[in-house]
Structure 1
Amino acid sequence: MTAKTFSSPIFVRDADQAILQIASVADALGFLARWPEQRRGPIYNTAMRACHAAREDRLSVDGARNAFAGFARSVGIRETEAVSIEPWIATPKRGRMPL
C-alpha cells in the first residue's frame, strides 16, 4: 500500500452508471476533476481541498477518504459495497454445475 492509498476503496457510480473503484487520493482527485461544474458545491469543494491537502501531506489520507466518501454520499453516487458477480457467472468450487 502506498502512502496515498485509501485503507479501503470507495465505490461510486459515474455518469454512465458504471461502478468505479476509488482507491487513492489520485483516483479521488481525478474523479472530482471530471465532476460537472454546475453540480459542484460546498461539499465538493471540501472534498477537493481535502484531497489536495492529503496529496501535499497536510491532511491524513483517511481524512481525504472521509471527505470524498461524504461527497459521494451527498450526491447519491456512493455504492455501499462492491458489486458481486452474478451467480450464473461464478463457477462452482467443486463438482459440476447443476443444469
Structure 2
Amino acid sequence: MKVHAFDRSIFVRDDKKLIHELESIDDALAFLAAWPESRRGPIYQSAFRACQAVREERLHLDGARNALHCFARSAGILEQAPVSIEPWMIVPRNGRGGILA
C-alpha cells in the first residue's frame, strides 16, 4: 500500500477535546470514520470522498488536505499547530538568572 503523507499535518480536536495530529490520508480517514453520524454534513462528505479519491489515485494529495482543512475549519475543530520553543531560544532577563555581560 502506498503511503499518502501530508506535507504539513492538520491538527483537529475531537468531541472529547483531545487534539489529534492528522499526518496522512489514513489518519484523516480514521478520524472521519469516528466522526459522529449526526454531524456528517455536505462538507464532511466532501472531505471523506476526497480522502478516498486519493487512495484510489483519482485526486492529488493536496486536494484532500484542502478539503479536510475546510471541513475542520467549518466544524470548528481546527487547531493551530503547536509551537515548540527550544531552551536556547529563550532570552534570559536581567536579574532572573541571566548572565550579565
State TM-score, norm by structure 1: 0.81
Measure how far apart 1:3 and its partner are. Answer: 4.7
Match of 2:31 in 1: 31
Q: How far does the alpha carbon of each residue in 1:60-90 deviate from its partner, in whole angstroms, 9 at most, with x for none?
A: 01111000001000000001x22246x8xx7
Measure how far apart 1:14 and its partner are. Answer: 1.1
User: SS of the residue aligned with 1:16?
Assistant: coil
Match of 1:70 in 2: 70
Identical positions, percent: 53
Aligned counterparts, 1:11-50, within 5 A: 11-50=11-50
Q: Which structure has the larger Rg over C-alpha atoms?
A: 2
User: SS of the residue aligned with 1:12?
Assistant: strand
Matched, 1:83 2:86: no
Q: How far does the alpha carbon of each residue in 1:5-35 deviate from its partner, in whole angstroms, 9 at most, with x for none?
A: 1111000111111111001111100000000
State TM-score, norm by structure 2: 0.80
User: Unaligned regions of 5+ residues in structure 2, if any?
Assistant: 89-95
Find runs of 4+ consecutive structure 1 residues off by over 2 angstroms: none
User: Unaligned regions of 5+ residues in structure 1, if any?
Assistant: none
CA RMSD of aligned residues (A): 2.4
